[in-house]
């Protein structure tokens, strides 16, 4: 009989046990793959950030504002090429389910500093000359059908305007695109000057500053110089590289790297316990059959190979189902998470990791049954039943 057919039939002899074990494996790999997709977004954002940009925020919390005049003071420091600033607006369109990443930015300098946003010179000039103008990502324009010149009402759950309303009126003045970061094409930017004059409180302040340093400048020296400049003020600062800033914002709720590591450990531990127990029970139930097959000429190696293939089938089906469900989940909700963290997806290398985990776990779970088969004595096993 063909070995693969024998393995397939043996695997489904105890259907309930097989499928329950397979579901356990599926859940483990579903969690592992889902969290890996989120972790990929964190890693992608950090690796894509500019190594010459620094981010400065309030030392206590990002929710605390800084005076706008900090920009001129930082710009005068040695090694600083240019400085811009921004404030988090939040915002949503029509209802709170349509959350948008809206940011008020310094319209004179922001897109010079963040040149990864590609805007035509004509549209950029138009935006700078339109007080209520907004710059939107291409994906937002496609999603809502917005075009240049459209009036767009946006609301904020944080900022009230001087009319005692949380509703703000904007005009689409420019549409930006990005290269290699399609998930980042869903942002909205508007003039900080309009925001500063229109809001009911916290005028002449912003949330954070972005500083580009020269290629010859020492990053650590500039960071120390910036924070030292404001150490004795009412609004002390904390400056980090853009990589660190993005990662801290994304991980303010949970340290995803730690979660991923814990899940990997849990996956292996759970798989080893469940699948090992299943395979040990399987080989005990087939003790006489194994002895008979050895008596008929089957080698211990071929029997061990069959046990390994059964473990591989069990783990492979569970891992495939779990990874597929995770992929569908990431695809379905990725657009919503992209408002907060762009680039959520499952890296192709993750599937190689899953493949390696399945094979390693299959080999480990076959170790005890393989030892039992190797030690099996035909005369003692069959003779005891005679």
- pLDDT > 80? residue 343: no
- Amino acid 380: pLDDT: 64
Q: Which of 173-187, 337-351, 368-382 has the lowest mean pLDDT?
A: 337-351
Q: How far is CA 320 from CA 312, 314, 351, in A?
A: 12, 10, 10
**E strand or H helix at 92, and its extent?**
strand 80-92
- pLDDT > 50? residue 132: yes
Task: For residues 129 and 84, give the distance between their C-alpha atoms in angstroms, rounded to a whole number.
Answer: 18
Token pair of 348 as six digits = 């192709």
Could you list the beta-strand ranges (E) of 125-219: 133-137, 151-155, 167-176, 188-191, 205-206, 208-213
pLDDT tens profile 210-249: 999 998 889 999 999 999 999 999 999 999 988 777 766 6
pLDDT tens profile 12-38: 888 888 888 888 889 888 888 887 877
- pLDDT > 60? residue 341: no
pLDDT tens profile 190-220: 999 999 999 998 889 999 999 999 988 899 9
- What b/e sequence results for 188-210 when a residue is b if at least 16 CB atoms lie within 10 Å of its CB, and e otherwise? bbbbbebbbebbeeeeebbbbbb
Query: 50 pLDDT band (50/70/90 cuts)?
Result: low
**More confident: 228 or 181:** 228
CB 313 within 8 A of CB 19: no
Which candidate, 101, 64, 85, 108, places its Cα nearest to that of 202?
A: 64
- Amino acid 37: pLDDT: 79
- pLDDT > 70? residue 1: no
pLDDT tens profile 304-339: 888 888 889 999 999 999 999 988 888 876 655 555
CB 373 within 8 A of CB 303: yes
- pLDDT > 50? residue 182: no
- Amino acid 264: pLDDT: 73
CB 113 within 8 A of CB 82: yes
**E strand or H helix at 67, and its extent?**
strand 66-67
- Amino acid 144: pLDDT: 92
**More confident: 262 or 190:** 190
Token pair of 183 as six digits = 């998930």
**More confident: 278 or 198:** 198
- Amino acid 166: pLDDT: 93
- Amino acid 181: pLDDT: 47
Query: 70 pLDDT band (50/70/90 cuts)?
Result: very high
CB 133 within 8 A of CB 170: yes
- Amino acid 34: pLDDT: 83
- pLDDT > 80? residue 379: no
**More confident: 169 or 42:** 169
Mean pLDDT value of segment 261-288: 78
Mean pLDDT value of segment 170-198: 85
Provide the whole-model pTM: 0.64
């Amino acid at each position: 009989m063909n070995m693969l057919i024998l393995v397939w039939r043996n695997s489904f002899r105890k259907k309930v046990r097989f499928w329950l074990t397979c579901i356990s494996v599926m859940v483990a790999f579903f969690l592992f793959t889902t969290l890996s997709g989120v972790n990929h977004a964190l890693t992608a954002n950090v690796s894509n950030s500019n190594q010459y940009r620094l981010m400065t925020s309030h030392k206590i919390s990002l929710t605390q504002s800084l005076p706008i005049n900090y920009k001129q003071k930082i710009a005068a420091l040695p090694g600083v090429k240019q400085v811009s600033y921004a404030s988090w607006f939040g915002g949503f369109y029509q209802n709170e389910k349509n959350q948008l990443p809206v940011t008020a930015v310094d319209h004179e300098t922001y897109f010079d500093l963040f040149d990864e946003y590609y805007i035509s010179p004509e549209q950029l000039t138009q935006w700078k000359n339109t007080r209520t103008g907004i710059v939107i990502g291409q994906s937002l324009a496609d999603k809502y059908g917005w075009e240049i010149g459209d009036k767009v009402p946006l609301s904020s759950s944080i900022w009230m305007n001087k009319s005692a309303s949380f509703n703000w009126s904007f005009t689409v003045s420019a549409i930006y695109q990005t290269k290699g970061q399609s998930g980042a094409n869903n942002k909205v930017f508007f003039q900080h000057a309009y925001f500063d004059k229109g809001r009911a409180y916290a005028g002449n302040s912003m949330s954070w500053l972005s500083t580009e340093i020269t290629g010859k400048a020492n990053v650590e020296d500039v960071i120390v110089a910036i924070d030292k400049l404001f150490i004795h003020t009412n609004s002390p600062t904390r400056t980090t590289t853009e990589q660190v800033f993005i990662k801290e914002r994304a991980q303010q709720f949970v340290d995803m790297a730690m979660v991923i590591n814990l899940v990997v450990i849990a996956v292996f531990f759970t798989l080893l316990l469940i699948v090992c127990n299943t395979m040990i029970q399987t080989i005990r139930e087939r003790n006489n059959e194994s002895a008979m097959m050895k008596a008929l000429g089957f080698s211990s190696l071929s029997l061990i190979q069959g046990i390994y293939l059964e473990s591989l089938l069990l783990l492979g089906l569970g891992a495939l189902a779990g990874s597929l469900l995770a992929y569908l989940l990431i695809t379905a909700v990725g657009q919503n998470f992209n408002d907060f963290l762009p680039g959520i997806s499952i890296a192709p290398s993750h599937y190689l990791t899953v493949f390696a985990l399945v094979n390693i776990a299959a080999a480990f779970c076959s170790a005890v049954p393989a030892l039992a088969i190797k030690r099996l004595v035909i005369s003692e096993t069959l003779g005891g039943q005679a």
